[in-house]
Amino acid sequence: MIDQESLDAIRDGVRGLCADYGDAYWRDIDAQRAFPEAFVNALTEAGWLAAMIPEEYDGSGLGLAEASAILEEVNRCGGNAGFVHGQMYNMFTLLRHGSEEQKKQYLPKIAAGELRLQAMAVTEPTTGTDTTKIKTNAVRRGDKYVINGQKVWISRVQHSDMMILLARTTPLDQVEKKSRGMSIFLVDLHAAIGNGLSVNPIGNMVNHETNELFFDDLEIPAENLIGEEGMGFKYILDGLNAERTLIAAECIGDGRWFVDRATAYANERRVFDRPIGQNQGVSFPIAESHIEVEAADLMRWRACEEYDAGKPAGASANMAKYLAAKASWEAANACLQTHGGFGFAHEYDIERKFRETRLYQVAPISTNLILSYVAEHLLGMPRSF
């Protein structure tokens, strides 16, 4: 069992930092569609984003449980960990599959925040969730790989120094298994942009910096390949359980924020000479949200426990992400409804958090894909794709 008291110091520390970046800060960043540089720098300098980097590479060497408490607290305080979570988990591929030389070269700099590895490019416009059909390809030429293709929805590229890229190195019709023949590369964004890589921002519902990428004969050094050529898809999948659990934690933070705000407003707002929370039509959806967030939280801790013990965590991590994203979304709805018209006013921050938490039904994995994982891998029903 995870000792919750041991996580209290982490929660207190993150909460203390977040207190300097209150509602007005996030509202302003959202209105300007800006990147919260000051907050990201403060979180980095305090070392919170280096939680899961081992101590030998200058990180804190903490587990998934501690890391999840950090991101949960950011969202619980009204912020949006989506601006920073990539820095925490994109390095998993490097840590697990990179060479010792690559790890020594990059991980200490990532831990210190000197190097931002906030971006990971997997999704493509023509293939979507069907990742093994990606068309972006990398062809080896001497001591370089030449990249051609297109990616879409790639987040935080403009606020990263390096990016993890998944590209096909062996054409699909030449591999025994469709999951083979893809490789992972580290792309130095400063060197690449304007020299074979172009970046087009995508305007979207959330204040989330995300982009279309075009690769036109981009050359990258062959030494930027991570691990073995052809094994990239497996490497990406390896990092997903931790990523899904961390996203679940963010949703739990959001869910608690919505429940707190809704409860406070239901107690304070008087209509028909009584607090609106006295009406069960108002209080029940909030109570229901509380129950669902708490249930999702139990699954989150199960995923953390399994992952930190080195046990298979796929089932729990996927179910935690599913439950938490659903619970936070339903809590968002209940909170908005409780606030009536005021829920739509920017100054209450609910419409902002409502948009932010909605994303997690779709990205980094859509709800249907989790259901299909559970149906096939846990329940033994036929593979659907």
Picking from 113, 90, 363, 373, the residue whose alpha carbon sits closest to that of residue 247 is: 363
Nearest-approach distance from CB 329 to ligand FAD, in angstroms: 14
What x-and-dash track marks residues 146-165 binding ligand FAD by CB under 6 A? -------xxx----------
Q: Which of 154, 266 has the CB closer to ligand FAD? A: 154
Q: Quick one: which segment of 5-13, 245-253, 320-328, 368-376 binds ligand FAD (CB under 6 A)? A: 368-376
| Rounded distance between C-alpha atoms, residue 228 and residue 172, angstroms | 17
Q: Which of 17, 117 has the CB closer to ligand FAD? A: 117
Q: Which of 60, 136 has the CB closer to ligand FAD? A: 136
Contact pick of 164, 259, 335, 359 for ligand FAD (by CB under 6 A):
359
* Contact status: 122 vs ligand FAD (CB under 6 A): yes
Which residues, numbered 200-219, are part of the site for ligand FAD (CB under 6 A)? Answer: 204, 208, 210
* Contact status: 185 vs ligand FAD (CB under 6 A): no
Nearest-approach distance from CB 97 to ligand FAD, in angstroms: 18
Q: Which of 271, 371 has the CB closer to ligand FAD? A: 371
Q: Which of 210, 263 has the CB closer to ligand FAD? A: 210
Q: Quick one: which segment of 9-17, 232-240, 256-264, 363-371 binds ligand FAD (CB under 6 A)? A: 363-371
Contact pick of 111, 115, 120, 213 for ligand FAD (by CB under 6 A):
120
CB atoms within 10 A of CB 282: 20
Q: Quick one: which segment of 37-45, 278-286, 339-347, 366-374 binds ligand FAD (CB under 6 A)? A: 366-374
> What does each C-alpha distance from 150 to 87, 125, 279, 310, 349 come to in angstroms?
23, 7, 53, 36, 35
Q: Are 24 and 38 in contact (CB under 8 A)?
A: no
Contacts of 22 (CB under 8 A, 6+ apart): 78
Q: Are 76 and 256 in contact (CB under 8 A)?
A: yes
Q: Which of 209, 297 has the CB closer to ligand FAD? A: 209
Ramachandran class of 285: left when φ > 0, alpha when ψ lies in -120 to 50, beta otherwise: alpha
* Contact status: 128 vs ligand FAD (CB under 6 A): yes
Residues of this chain that bind ligand FAD (CB under 6 A):
120-123, 128-129, 153-155, 204, 208, 210, 359, 362-366, 368-369, 372, 384-385
